[in-house]
Amino acid sequence: MDFEQLNQFSDQHTTPEDALLSEVSSFTLQNHAEPHMLSGHVQGQLLKMVSQMIRPERILEIGTFTGYSALCLAAGLQPDGILHTIEFREPTAAIAQNFFKNRLIRTTYNCIQVMHWKSYRY
C-alpha cells in the first residue's frame, strides 16, 4: 500500500469534519500561502479523540496556524477548561482569532485564547 492509498483509506474511515472545521480548512487552502501547514482532517480527529479521552482542564498549543488543531483540541476540554495557543505570525493569529470569536456559537470555544508570540507572558 502506498502513501496516497493510505491517505485515502484514512480519510474514508475517519469521522467527517464538522461545518466549522470544514470552513477553516477551505479558507486555509484557498487563502493562505502555506496551506500545507494545516493539521487536516485525520490528524485533527486524532487530536480531538485524545483530548476527549483525557478531558484536560488546560491545554497549551504552540503553533496556532489558522486554528484547526485548536478547535479539535478544545472539543475535549472540561467545561471550565482553557486552551492557550501561541502563533508566531500575527496575521495568521488574527485569522484564527476571527474563527474563534466571530464564527463560533458554542460557548465551549470561548475558552480559546490566541496570543501572538511577542505578547505571550508566562
Domain boundaries of the chain, sorted by first residue = 3-11+18-119
Reduced to 3 states, what is the DSSP secondary structure of residue 84?
Answer: strand
Instruction: For residue range 30-62, list pLDDT tens digits in order.
Output: 999 999 999 999 999 999 999 999 999 999 999
Instruction: For residue range 95-119, list pLDDT tens digits in order.
Output: 998 888 765 544 455 577 777 666 6
Q: What is this structure's pTM?
A: 0.85
Residues 76, 53 contacting (CB under 8 angstroms): yes
Task: Give domain 3-11+18-119's CATH architecture.
Answer: 3-Layer(aba) Sandwich (3.40)
DSSP symbols for 31-76: H-S-GGG---HHHHHHHHHHHHHH--SEEEEE--TTSHHHHHHHTT
* Percent over 90 (pLDDT), the chain: 54
